[in-house]
Structure 1
Amino acid sequence: MNAPERENSGRVVTVIGGGGFIGRALVARLVAAGHVVRVAVRNPAKLEALTRAPGEGRVELIKASVVEGNSLAAAFDRADAVVNLVSIMDPDVQKMREINVYGAQRAARVAHECGVARYIHVSAIGASLNSPSAYGRSKGEAERVVRTAFPGASLIRPSVVFGPRDSFMNMFALIAKLSPILPVFASKTRFQPVYVGDVAEAIVRLLGASEGARTVEAGGPDVFTMRELMEFVLDATNRKRLLISVPGFVARLEGKIFEKLPGHILTSDQVAMMGVDNVVHSGVDTLASLGIDPVSLKLVGPSYLGGSVFKSWRRFFS
Structure 2
Amino acid sequence: MTPPAPSVLVLGGTGFVGQHVCEKLQRAGWRITVPTRRATSARHIQHLPGLTVVEASVHDDAALARLLPGHQAVINLVAILHGSEAAFERTHVQLPARLARACLNAGVPRLVHVSALGVATDSPSRYQRSKARGEQVLRDSGLELTVLRPSVIFGAGDRFLNLFAQLQSVFPVVPLAGASARFQPVWVEDVADAAVACLRGDTVGKTFDAVGPDIMTLADLVRAAGRYGSRQRPIIPLPMALGRLQAMLMELAPGEPLMSRDNLDAMSVDNVTTGQWPDLGALGISVSGIAAVAPTYLRGPPARSRLLAIRGHLSSRHRKEKGRRN
Is this a same-fold pair by TM over 0.5? yes
* Larger mean Cα displacement after TM superposition, 205-214 or 78-87: 205-214
* Larger mean Cα displacement after TM superposition, 40-49 or 15-24: 40-49
Identity of aligned residues (%): 33
C-alpha separation between the residues in 2 aligned to 1:112 and 1:44? 27
SS in 1 for 2:45: helix
Q: Per-residue CA shift, 1:78-114, capped at 9, x if unaligned?
A: 1000001111123321122111110121112211221
Query: What is the match of residue 103 of structure 2?
Result: 111
Match of 2:131 among 117, 139, 149: 139
Q: What RMSD, in angstroms, separates the aligned Cα atoms of the two structures?
A: 1.8
Matched, 1:205 2:200: no
SS in 1 for 2:132: helix
* Larger mean Cα displacement after TM superposition, 192-201 or 63-72: 63-72
Q: Tell me the CA shift for residue 238 of structure 1.
A: 4.7
Matched, 1:231 2:223: yes
Match of 1:183 among 175, 188, 193: 175
Q: Tell me the CA shift for residue 149 of structure 1.
A: 2.1
SS in 1 for 2:89: helix
Query: What is the match of residue 170 of structure 1?
Result: 162
- Cα pair 2:154 2:161 within 8 Å, conserved: yes
Matches within 5 A, 1:1-318: 10-53=5-48, 57-262=49-254, 263-307=256-300
Q: Per-residue CA shift, 1:116-141, capped at 9, x if unaligned?
A: 14101110001110111100101010
Q: Tell me the CA shift for residue 282 of structure 1.
A: 1.3
TM-score, with length taken from structure 1: 0.89
C-alpha separation between the residues in 1 aligned to 2:138 and 2:196? 19
C-alpha separation between the residues in 1 aligned to 2:27 and 2:278? 26
- Cα pair 2:39 2:54 within 8 Å, conserved: yes
Q: Per-residue CA shift, 1:137-188, capped at 9, x if unaligned?
A: 0101010011122442111000000000111111111111110012232222
Which stretches in structure 1 are left out of the alignment for 5+ residues?
A: 1-5, 309-318
* Larger mean Cα displacement after TM superposition, 244-253 or 43-52: 43-52
C-alpha separation between the residues in 2 aligned to 1:49 and 1:236? 26
Which stretches in structure 2 are left out of the alignment for 5+ residues?
A: 302-326
Amino acid at match of 1:296: G
- Cα pair 1:153 1:212 within 8 Å, conserved: yes
User: Using a 3 Å threshold, how does the CA distance of structure 1 residues 234 and 224 change in structure 2: closer, same or farther?
Assistant: same
User: Using a 3 Å threshold, how does the CA distance of structure 1 residues 136 and 283 change in structure 2: closer, same or farther?
Assistant: closer
C-alpha separation between the residues in 1 aligned to 2:41 and 2:107? 30
* Larger mean Cα displacement after TM superposition, 127-136 or 262-271: 262-271
- Cα pair 1:51 1:58 within 8 Å, conserved: no
Q: Tell me the CA shift for residue 227 of structure 1.
A: 1.6
Q: Tell me the CA shift for residue 244 of structure 1.
A: 0.5
- Cα pair 2:148 2:209 within 8 Å, conserved: yes
Runs of 4+ aligned residues of structure 1 deviating over 3 Å after TM superposition are none
Amino acid at match of 1:39: V
Q: Tell me the CA shift for residue 66 of structure 1.
A: 3.1
Amino acid at match of 1:94: A
C-alpha separation between the residues in 1 aligned to 2:43 and 2:295? 30
Q: Tell me the CA shift for residue 211 of structure 1.
A: 4.4
Q: Per-residue CA shift, 1:169-219, capped at 9, x if unaligned?
A: 111111111100122322221111101011111111111233411101100
- Cα pair 1:185 1:274 within 8 Å, conserved: no
C-alpha separation between the residues in 1 aligned to 2:27 and 2:145? 24
- Cα pair 1:66 1:99 within 8 Å, conserved: no
Q: Tell me the CA shift for residue 307 of structure 1.
A: 4.7
Query: What is the match of residue 313 of structure 1?
Result: none
C-alpha separation between the residues in 2 aligned to 1:215 and 1:288? 13
C-alpha separation between the residues in 2 aligned to 1:307 and 1:271? 32
Amino acid at match of 1:93: E
User: Using a 3 Å threshold, how does the CA distance of structure 1 residues 102 and 192 change in structure 2: closer, same or farther?
Assistant: same
C-alpha separation between the residues in 2 aligned to 1:301 and 1:29? 20
* Larger mean Cα displacement after TM superposition, 260-269 or 140-149: 260-269
User: Using a 3 Å threshold, how does the CA distance of structure 1 residues 18 and 150 change in structure 2: closer, same or farther?
Assistant: farther
